[in-house]
Amino acid sequence: MQTKILLNEDRIPKQWYNIIPDMPGPLSPVIHPGTLQPVTPDDLLPLFPMGLIEQEVSQQRWIDIPDEVREIYRLWRPAPLYRAHRLEKALGTPAKIYYKYEGGSPAGSHKPNTAIPQAYYNKIFGTKRIATETGAGQWGSAMSFACQMFGLACTVYMVKVSFNQKPYRKSMMQLWGSNVIPSPSDQTNAGRAILAQFPDSNGSLGIAISEAVEDAATHEDTRYALGSVLNHVCLHQTIIGIEAKEQLAIAGDYPDVVIGCHGGGSNFAGIAFPFAADKANGKNVRLLAMEPTSCPTLTKGVYEFDYGDTAKMAPIAKMYTLGHDFMPPGIHAGGLRYHGASPLVSQLVNAGIVEAKAVAQKGCFEAAVMFSCAEGIIPAPESSHAIRGAIDEALQAKEEGKEKTILFCLSGHGQVDMTAYDAYFGGQLEDYEYPAEAIKESLAHLPKVEF
């Protein structure tokens, strides 16, 4: 009985799967926050290189992965698929549990899967520097590594509270050559405006986005990079599901349910979209996105047009949203604290093709600890939401005495997140359900867009 199902490096996929031609209905336009009209490629050129803008709207089902990108993917891909024999035994479940482990990348999560191609398309476009933002540092570290691989400079605006309190991912970014600036900073108009009003501001992801976007838009040689939500990010992550499908075929299996945690939607899209294609062709497979009850975008939000950021500088997209002025509580799964969701994942949820479920954080840490004591790997707090989903599916199979094959994405390891585990073991974590009134209040401020 195999525990790890491995593929040789020559099996690194040669193409990403683009779900756009297989979507249930046309895509909604992306709207310019200033004009409230659909954005054109020209509007996006100050921010992104042409190669990525083309991918954002491509109708081509399979998109070639450049050789230069596959060469770097070799450092950690193909990622292993594990059969969780020990977890199955601990649960006493008849279900088979498989997990695709993305924590073996240099940055420790799935994020380099898109950071590498983003750096590549910028390099061939002539970009000299990337400006980006990061919360706890997962995206900033992935992008720093990618820029180092392609000889690009990288400026990371890091939310100040994380800069001061979570130093290790900052150190990773600096090791890979990035300039890490605590946000709000005095380097941009957006940052200076906040500091003038709130000199002691701890920052927020919304402010850091505004600073990075302004930096890119005002420097000819600089472009912006985003680690989730956008179509091209979901596209790059499909390498996860494409590999997993091949590995499951080697094991002679096919999943009944595919599970991923959901922040902006990229790792979920990565594992689920290649299976959504089978589902569109009549396969019976469930796709389940797991989110925190403290930031319940897919389960409690509305499917409407909203701004991508708090400062209303980012484009407006039709997506599930809690409102752009939603104030995320300080939960420990920092990567799951976005008010919106990928428009592609949103459309699939709205069409009933993807299911969504919200879970509270204590149950997620309980699942993470159980997983780690059985399987060894210490999961990222974000990934623990997917583990909770998988364990619940396995326990349901046990109750019903049914066989079931479960596949989930273990999006990253938690070795730089041990303070979160300390808080859990110290009894300092509270379950938190974001109040319905607060959501209603935020949703009253959606932009009025008619498309």
Ligand X SMILES: *Cc1c(COP(=O)(O)O)cnc(C)c1O
* Interacting residues toward ligand X by CB under 6 A: 109, 111, 138, 228, 261-268, 335-336, 380, 382-383, 411-412
Distance separating alpha carbons of residues 49 and 117, to the nearest angstrom? 11
Least distance (Å) between residue 143 CB and ligand X: 12
| Nearer to ligand X (CB atom), residue 205 or residue 380 | 380
| Nearer to ligand X (CB atom), residue 95 or residue 410 | 410
| Nearer to ligand X (CB atom), residue 152 or residue 261 | 261
Q: Would you call the peptide bond into 78 cis, given omega within 30 degrees of 0 as the criterion?
A: yes
Least distance (Å) between residue 260 CB and ligand X: 7
Least distance (Å) between residue 56 CB and ligand X: 16
Least distance (Å) between residue 441 CB and ligand X: 25
Residue whose Cβ sits closest to ligand X: 412
| Nearer to ligand X (CB atom), residue 194 or residue 345 | 345
Strand partners of residue 379: 413
Distance separating alpha carbons of residues 271 and 354, to the nearest angstrom? 12
- Please give the structure tokens belonging to residue 412: 């990253």
Least distance (Å) between residue 47 CB and ligand X: 19
| Nearer to ligand X (CB atom), residue 110 or residue 245 | 110
Least distance (Å) between residue 193 CB and ligand X: 28
| Nearer to ligand X (CB atom), residue 49 or residue 292 | 292
Least distance (Å) between residue 279 CB and ligand X: 20
Least distance (Å) between residue 186 CB and ligand X: 28
In contact, 277 and 17? CB cutoff 8 Å: yes
| Nearer to ligand X (CB atom), residue 324 or residue 404 | 324
| Nearer to ligand X (CB atom), residue 109 or residue 127 | 109
In contact, 75 and 106? CB cutoff 8 Å: yes
